[in-house]
Amino acid sequence: MLRTRIIPVLLISDDYIVKTTRFSNPRYIGDPINIVRIFNEKEVDELTLFDIGIKGKDEINYNLIKNIAFNARMPICYGGGIRTIAQVEKIFSMGIEKISISKSFILNPILLSEIASKFGSQSTVVTFDINRINKDEFCVGGNLICNIEKIKQLIVQANNSGAGEIIINCIHRDGTDEGYDQDLLDKIYFTAKSPITIVGGASSLENIFTVAKKYPVIGLGVGNLFIYKGKKKAVLISYPGDHERKLIQ
């Protein structure tokens, strides 16, 4: 049975976990293995890892992925630098349950079909990095200017090509604590044929629960809220307890 998932989203850069604001100014958070072990103890639903430091590098950091997968006691989705079937096969062989492609889908849509055909849609995710320009315009994947209808077309195309999950990663809300972009979610939620996950801006547990109640089958990606505590943003890893999670089931 499908259910709402609350998913910590961790950003990797040069072997460390960092946190950004609107995809800029990465701040060091800590060692990924230590953070994964803490999330093990908190019995998180799953983890999503994005390597944001991969640009300009020749290859994916397989050693780090392998160590994270070995230490994790929850399903993991990995994204960052995936361009070939061979890379996907190697990542899955290390114990990662799902992979995410982003720019690679826009540049080479056939890759998604090949991945889904070989490994199954349940293991195949497409992430759309979306930055709101104004009320009606968005930038997707860094340089593709879209209106809502174009974004819907991309979601349909991804599902038709084999994506078993769509992640909407809102650049304009990343690290802001302003709440999820529910206006965007309202317009695209029913377009997806697969589960959809929204990332960016979670401001409180109440914000998470409100969105979860409105959209019955959704993934809620969370960064700041599960990493920082207090106005001074001291690093303190957290996650809702059993009682709190049951409120949205």
Check: CB of residue 113 under 8 Å from CB of residue 85.
Answer: no
Is residue 29 within a helix (H) or strand (E), and if so which, with residue range? strand 24-30
Q: Among 14, 31, 58, 129, which one carries the catalytic annotation?
A: 129
CA 29 to CA 110: how far, in whole Å? 36
For 221-233, give the DSSP string.
Answer: EESHHHHEETTTT
Residue 174 is among the residues annotated as catalytic for this protein: no
Task: State CA 236 to chain mean position distance.
Answer: 20
Name which of 86, 88, 87, 84 is nearest 123 in CA terms. 88
- Catalytic sites, residue numbers: 129
